[in-house]
Amino acid sequence: MSVKMIVVGSVAYDTLQTPKGTRERALGGSATYFSTVASYFTKVGLVGVAGRDFEPAHIAFLKKHGVDLEGFEQVPGQTFHWSGSYGDDFGDATTHATHLNVFEKFDPKLPAAYQKVEFLFLANIHPSLQLKVIERVKKPRLIAMDTMNFWITGALKDLKKVLKKVDVLFINLQEALMLSGEKKLNSAIPALLKMGPGRLVIKMGELGAMTATAKTRFFTPAFLLPSITDPTGAGDSFAGGFMGCLARDGDLTENGFRRAMLYGSAMGAFTCEHFSLDTYKTLTKAKIEARFKALKTMIAVK
């Protein structure tokens, strides 16, 4: 099976503390979460970099999920390392330390096969790198990107260049207001769409997520869990489920995007149930479909 989609982003180790415990050097990174989740739906390639300290067991984990690693590099040095903690409400993490290490000089390498993929996801990396990748990919059906407040405040000029070239922008509610300069979501949506993307996916944490175009609005609830262990990577997992569904089905109609939103919500919740990517050591496609159906029931009306 040839690679249908690629993700370009970080591969990392996370040291974190939540009300449920602590983990040292847990497998993390935006590209790692995204590709692991997307692998349940389609053949996905990972473009990223790690140091020589990246453990063989973690490479084996990705390979076991069928993630293509032709675009993944290991270079001399240490892997990107993030350290943070969550309070009792599991809100935004407090960052204690960020060591970019080999990720600081990350220059995405796209093998020939990756340049012909149908679906491209640009995870949360510097907009100049996102733009460089877009220029190397030939006629993809869909380009989606993620961003964050750090780039909105520190690399706005480059970010606006990328926005003109993507089809879907993933962003959380606070960042949507920040980037648009608006105070209300209703006015932020048209302002963001004018920047270039044809569709927005606005993440709202435990309140769910919305996708919007110039003519449509669709809201999906979050799958409410009885207990959360670790919300790290939930947004990247949402994107992995969303994009994985689109790549699997090839359905870019409004209904196809709405179906993708439900899969995104399902996968984001799965990630929160255990530390790091531990959920995906045992998760089955049957469980994914059961959760998709449960979410579908939550929004069904007669």
pLDDT at 223 over 80: yes
Q: How far apart are CA 199 and CA 189, in angstroms?
A: 9
CATH number, domain at 231?
Answer: 3.40.1190.20
Q: What pLDDT, on the 0 to 100 scale, is given for residue 15?
A: 97
Q: What pLDDT, on the 0 to 100 scale, is given for residue 6?
A: 98
- pLDDT above 70 as % of the chain: 100
Q: What pLDDT, on the 0 to 100 scale, is given for residue 114?
A: 97
> Per residue in 128-187, pLDDT tens?
999 999 999 999 999 999 998 889 999 999 999 999 999 999 999 999 999 999 999 999
Q: What pLDDT, on the 0 to 100 scale, is given for residue 89?
A: 85
Please compute the mean of the pLDDT values over residues 253-274 and round it to a whole number: 98
Residue type, 11: V
For residues 118 and 48, the answer to whether their CB atoms sit within 8 Å is no
The residue ranking higher by pLDDT, 239 or 1, is 239
Give the count of alpha carbons within 13 A of 283, CB side only.
25
Written as six digits, the tokens of 8 are: 């370009």
Of 39-43, 71-75, 147-151, 266-270, least confident by mean pLDDT is 147-151
- Mean pLDDT, all residues of the chain: 96
Q: Domain range holding 124?
A: 5-299
**Number of domains within the chain:** 1
Q: Other CB atoms closer than 10 Å to residue 74's CB: what's the count?
A: 16
CA dihedral 167, 171, 174, 179 (to 10 degrees): -40
Please compute the mean of the pLDDT values over residues 26-46 and round it to a whole number: 98
10 Å CB burial of residue 155 (0-12, 13-18, 19+) is middle
For residues 152 and 128, the answer to whether their CB atoms sit within 8 Å is no
Of the candidates 202, 173, 192, 212, the residue with the CA atom closest to the CA atom of residue 264: 202
Q: What pLDDT, on the 0 to 100 scale, is given for residue 197?
A: 98
Please compute the mean of the pLDDT values over residues 271-299 and round it to a whole number: 97
